[in-house]
Amino acid sequence: MSKCEQCIVREFSSLKALNKDELLKIADCKTSYTIKKGETIFVEGENVNGIFCIKDGVCKMSKLSQNGKDQIIKLVSKGELLGQRSMISDEPTNLSAIALEDMEVCFIPKAEIMGFFDNNNQFSMNVMKSICGDLKDADTHTVSMAQKTVKERLAETLIYLETSFGKNEDGSLHIQLSREELAGMIGTATESCIRLLSDFKKLGLIDLSGKKITILNLSKLKKLAE
């Protein structure tokens, strides 16, 4: 049996529409990689000419702003695909993808994927739905940036990190972002982010230990995020 048939990415992504023969084609042409924490999967402006399947791990999708700051647009974890949009639009990637922990990824060349578009309507629909979902998320993020205070956005982001990526055994957030990365996610200066985290700690909402953040009062944090 092809490993692609049993793969977690297939269960959660557009690939679930592919039949056995199509999955065998992928298995024959894919390349598997181990990406170490901090390493780049691709950089903004690169022509990737295919898609990446995330088999394990989490990466940040970020964009360099004009002042050279790294703005995290979103986090992507196992079971998801990278590069669908640039592959279809035939444009260089709009974002960089950098591993936040050790990752297992597979690369499938564009030529193979584009063949499925011609022969598998459900696959085409799934890819379109996925891209539409990304657009919807981007709209929500834009509204949040425009209408919510930095304090509300920080609370919202901490909740997102816990609910989407879980906790370590000690209760701290599994995804450990630097203060700079966190500031980039909520669109503020690093100093402001550090000050707000300190305020949250004084209020008993979170606990801080080095890079580790532990949410102590999720319901109060949710109230603050609204």
CA–CA separation, 169 and 174 (whole Å): 9
Tokens of 88: 């279809």
Comparing 26-40, 98-112, 120-134, 200-214, the range with the smallest average pLDDT is 120-134
Neighbouring-strand partners of residue 166: none
Task: Provide the terminal-to-terminal Cα distance of the chain, rounded to the nearest Å.
Answer: 48
- In tens, the pLDDT along 67-122 reads 777 788 899 999 999 999 898 889 999 999 999 999 999 999 999 898 888 889 99
Position 103 scores a pLDDT of: 97
Burial class (CB in 10 A: 0-12, 13-18, 19+), 131: middle
Position 226 scores a pLDDT of: 85
> Which residue has better confidence, 174 or 4?
174
Residue 10 in this model has a pLDDT that exceeds 50? yes
The arithmetic mean of pLDDT across residues 175-182, rounded, is: 92
Q: How many residues does the chain have?
A: 226
CA–CA separation, 133 and 208 (whole Å): 34
Position 1 scores a pLDDT of: 44
- 141: three-class secondary structure by DSSP: helix
Query: What is the pairing mode between strands 40-42 and 96-99?
Result: antiparallel
HSE (side-chain half, CA atoms, 13 Å) at 118: 5
The arithmetic mean of pLDDT across residues 10-20, rounded, is: 86
Residue 3 in this model has a pLDDT that exceeds 80? no
Position 190 scores a pLDDT of: 93
- Which pLDDT band, with edges at 50, 70 and 90, does 2 fall under? low
Residue 146 Cα distances to 6, 69, 73, 138, angstroms:
42, 19, 15, 12
